[in-house]
Amino acid sequence: MEEALQRRRSIRDYSQAPLSLEELSLLLYLADGITLWQYGIGFRTAPSAGALYPIEIYPVVNRVEGLKPGVYHYNARFHALELIKGGEFGPEMVQYCLGQEMPGAAALTLILTAVFQRTRWKYRERAYRYVLLEGGHIGQNIYLAATAMGMGACAIGAFLDDQVNRLIGVDEKEEAVIYILTVGKILGT
């Protein structure tokens, strides 16, 4: 952990090497996977106010061995990917991220969304804060997991919300994008 924290940096340049399916699986598990089932709740790697888990992860796959390019949903309950739509979406993601090249160069882009009502019913006016904190916890998990696995990650805060929401098929009211991170193999490795 100490080494991953010391080496963690935002990496914007990626090699064209694909991730393996095992690497993607481990990355998603470490990001927000279920580590314990207790009291009917699947506790995850990232803390969540009231264990309500409002964050969803949508991998946009460019290059992962054994997986077609496309937009997926990570189902944490079953540690499985669900295909939303197939196709090459790297160029669109570059456009939606205001010309930043990372989503086109990275092996994958992870889009984090929030389902606000999962937290709002219990925490009311504090829900927005708690949801954003959880997104940050998951983002840091992604950074640290990628670093420990010898890969790079980079957070993106500048993006066109409406276009990203449409790409992944969320309604922008009940569920909306809050955070984007790219992940890929580092140049020269």
26-49: average pLDDT? 97
Calculate the CA dihedral of residues 138, 91, 167, 15 and round it to 10 degrees. Answer: -30
**Residue 31 sits in which domain range?**
2-185
72-90: average pLDDT? 98
pLDDT score at 139: 98
Burial class (CB in 10 A: 0-12, 13-18, 19+), 119: buried
Other C-beta atoms closer than 10 Å to the C-beta of 40 total: 5
pLDDT at 43 over 80: yes
pLDDT at 31 over 90: yes
Number of domains in the chain: 1
44-72: average pLDDT? 98
The string of pLDDT tens digits covering residues 108-152 is 999 999 999 999 999 999 999 999 999 999 999 999 999 999 999
What CATH number has the domain bearing residue 181?
A: 3.40.109.10
pLDDT score at 85: 98
The string of pLDDT tens digits covering residues 98-110 is 999 999 999 999 9
pLDDT score at 189: 67
